[in-house]
Amino acid sequence: MRKCGLLLIGLASTTCEAESLPPILDYFPGCHYQTLATVTETRQLDTNLERDEFEKDKQRLLRQLQTAARDANADALVITDLEQKNNRLRSESHQNLVRYTYTAKAISGCETEDPELRVASEYTETGQRRRQLAASRISSTKTVTVDLRPAYSQSWLLQTPILDEAWKQRPPMSQMHLNSKGTLQGVNLGASMSTVVEQLGYPSAEWQRFEGIKTFSYGRQTWLHFRDAMLVGIDLGDPNLPNATLNEIPLLSDWNDSDWQLNDNIVANMDRSTALTFLPSDADITDKQAQWHQQGTTTRLTFRTDGGEQAYVAGVSLRSGGALKEHSPEGVDYQPIVSALSGTSADALQSGLQGFAQRTPQQARIHQGDNTYLDIYDNGLAIQWSGEHAKQILIRENLLGKSGSNADWQLTPHIRQGATLGQLQEAFGDELSAFFGEGTLFLQHYDVKLYFDGDDDDAPLYAAELTLY
């Protein structure tokens, strides 16, 4: 039973009721508390919901976490980890269903506590990762730091390490403001890459989806395009990428790129008919978009219905210097990966994959924190790296949307595109466990998850995930 009458880590006035839930703290208490259990809860959240609805849904998940801590007789809990993942590889839905998994330490209360000994946790009481890990919200004049890796990630396009503290230096965005003259949050078309990083911080991901263009993306809906290191395009809204790829990009705390405003009158999700009343008289208007020119800048609104009768504003683009042309990379050569995976040791496997990465041009890098990043090599192949160590190999049908066509892929003599479930069961026997179109293998240096188009013997293999030891 939870203890009444204790100084509950700064919550001395809290009453103890049978049905009350232990609070989520944004610090570890300055006392000899006990960790009673590590609790984990998971829930599917739709990141395309309006911000208020999304936060309500997330609060339900946090209450699940609090309930689990209460069941462990805890007086409080501290969130220690958040994993976000979408395993739905094939979906026609406009939902962004992301599996959120929170992990927390369920802890006991304290008879006495020294506030100056509190240590800031990596996550706030609302489940957001901290932008700064100083004890800024703690009742203490003493700053306590948390042991973190020095590098958040490695910038591909800038060719520099991204230090953890530099990553956090990003202004909060409650609403994105643009104007048709080519300005986003004070950043103008024509600005240099370094100026953009100084004003907006480092990007969440870096891309080469267009010919002669390098792209920064912030969160999942803000895209800045550079030609010769100068800003020539800004996109807010649908980037024409599959949800499975977008969901690999971590959400940015304090950055709401789904809520934007153009010229003080047009806002995201405004109905089309209302938006048209604010456009200049010379705008070129069709059912799916509206476009106009002003002072060397082209502005385009895109409209969507999502199956409903009322069209709404789904995105906005600003351009200087003409349209962007899609880049279609050549498919990669999978033979070096096949050779690496057939190596006799984990070190040989890693060396082979590092050699592949050095010889193969990539198309994108998604920064995922703790010096971890996902490099996309073509429309079907991505490798997750932790520094120079490969952690995962992802095979997908469509990573880059319209930007690439993948070559026929192969990972081992048997695990290849189009291999049937029956063929793989014959090759691996009881080592292959298959159920409802998904299969698993546990091999010497890696685990494999396989995705089949069906669950009978003739079902072809279309995607795979390898987790490396």
Instruction: Please name the residues in contact with 276: beta carbons below 8 A apart, sequence gap of 6 or more.
Output: 285, 290
- List, in order, residues 6 or more apart from 19 with CB less than 8 Å away: none
pTM of the model: 0.69
CATH 3.40.50.720 fits 1-147, yes or no: no
pLDDT at 18: 38
Query: 123 with 26: CB under 8 angstroms?
Result: yes
Per-residue confidence (pLDDT) for residue 135, from 0 to 100:
34
Mean of the per-residue pLDDT values of the chain: 84
Domain extent listing, the chain: 1-147, 153-319, 335-362+377-468
pLDDT of 237 reads 85
Q: 3-class DSSP state for residue 93?
A: coil
The whole-number pLDDT of residue 91 equals 55
Q: What was the pLDDT predicted at 369?
A: 86
Residue 157 has pLDDT above 80, yes or no: yes
> pLDDT digit string (tens) for 259-279?
889 998 999 999 999 999 999
Confidence at residue 7, expressed as pLDDT on a 0 to 100 scale: 43
Residue 383's closest CA among 463, 469, 466?
A: 466
Q: 469, 461, 348: which is closest to 415 by C-alpha?
A: 461
Instruction: Read off the pLDDT of residues 72-96 as tens digits, 9 standing for 90 and up.
Output: 999 999 998 888 776 556 655 556 6
What region, left, alpha or beta, does residue 401 occupy, with left being phi > 0 and alpha being psi -120 to 50 degrees? left
Residue 93 CA from chain centroid, whole number? 18
The H-assigned helical ranges of 362-449 are 421-428
Separation CA 38–CA 26 (nearest Å): 16
Q: What is the pLDDT of residue 418?
A: 94
- Report, as an integer, the average pLDDT of 187-212: 92
Taking residues 329-356, report their average pLDDT. Answer: 91
Split at pLDDT 50, 70, 90, the class of 400 is: confident
Let me know: does 66 contact 54? Beta carbons within 8 Å.
no
Predicted confidence band of residue 168 (pLDDT cuts 50, 70, 90) = confident
The three-state secondary structure class of 218 is strand
Task: Report CA Rg, the chain.
Answer: 25
Q: Which pLDDT belongs to residue 89?
A: 60
| Residue bearing the bigger pLDDT, 257 or 311 | 311
Query: Which structure tokens are listed for 338?
Result: 């096949």
Question: CA torsion sign, 199 to 200 to 206 to 211?
Answer: negative
Tens digit of pLDDT for each residue in 87-145? Answer: 556 655 556 677 889 999 999 887 788 887 888 888 888 888 764 433 333 333 333 33
Q: Which amino acid is at 43?
A: R
The predicted structure's pLDDT at residue 94: 54
